[in-house]
Amino acid sequence: AQSVAQPEDQVNVAEGNPLTVKCTYSVSGNPYLFWYVQYPNRGLQFLLKYITGDNLVKGSYGFEAEFNKSQTSFHLKKPSALVSDSALYFCAVRDRGSTLGRLYFGRGTQLTVWP
Amino acid sequence: DADVTQTPRNRITKTGKRIMLECSQTKGHDRMYWYRQDPGLGLRLIYYSFDVKDINKGEISDGYSVSRQAQAKFSLSLESAIPNQTALYFCATSDPGPAQETQYFGPGTRLLVL
């Protein structure tokens, strides 16, 4: 069974500090991994994804994420947080071997960056 | 994302009423999805469709039905709305080709069932 865990409901960081939003996953095969961001009153926006190749994936707005197979993790990171990064972040996984194509989402982590 | 639109954006209805939420997309994608979002629960899949003739139940399909009228249109119906269907509903699309299943979301419909 596929599942995603985001262990922190909320992450608070000061502007200019590095940020990390954690994600661990469970799939029966090899994963495709995704991060989405949701700003207030908006739909989810795609940030980045890991499909294959380099374990460090770079995405939109200066975000990056590192795929760690041994730890089954895909943590989202940014070297220097901005107040405008404050939003709800979702990690999602899909089993690479599945023909169904559906994503499994975590519960979300609310990121707050204060000035 | 303007390529995926949802109507209405907000809706208040009463218990027992039938309502329909509509989704349209101009991305040319075959695959479409309906999710609901509840605080602290993330997104849960209601129904998904891989083409016009293909409809599949997701993890929480009870109390909902869907219609795929065309490649570009996927509607979600609540036959008899109940208060615990109060939620934020999202439509999404994806392309099984080189984009590797990245899903693109509409702006959402906020539904309140009284």
Chain A residues touching residue B102 (CB < 8 angstroms): 34, 46, 49
CA distance A64 to A47: 9
Phi-psi domain of B108 (left: phi exceeds 0; alpha: psi -120 through 50; beta: other): left
Which of A26-40, A75-89, A94-108 is modeled with the greatest confidence?
A75-89
Local structure of B4: helix, strand or coil? strand
The answer to whether the CB atoms of B42 and A90 lie below 8 A apart is yes
Instruction: Supply A80's token pair.
Output: 């220097």
Local structure of A84: helix, strand or coil? helix
Local structure of residue A79 (DSSP, 8 states): S
**What average pLDDT is seen over chain B?**
91
Answer whether residue A52 shows pLDDT above 80: yes
The alpha-carbon gap from A41 to the nearest alpha carbon of chain B, in Å, equals 8
Report yes or no: B105 at the A interface, CB cutoff 8 Å: yes
Tens digit of each residue's pLDDT (9 = 90 or more) over A16-38: 999 999 999 998 778 889 999 99
Average pLDDT, stretch B57-77?
95
Answer whether residue A14 shows pLDDT above 80: yes
User: Residue B97 — very low, low, confident or very high, per pLDDT cuts 50/70/90?
Assistant: low
Residue with the larger pLDDT of the pair A69 and A1: A69
pLDDT at site A94: 85
pLDDT at site A101: 67
CA distance A10 to A21: 9
H helix runs in A10-67, sequence order: none
CA distance B31 to A112: 33
Which residue, among A34, A44, A88, A105, would best test binding to B if mutated, counting the most B CBs under 10 Å from its CB?
A44
CA distance A36 to A40: 13
**What average pLDDT is seen over chain A?**
91
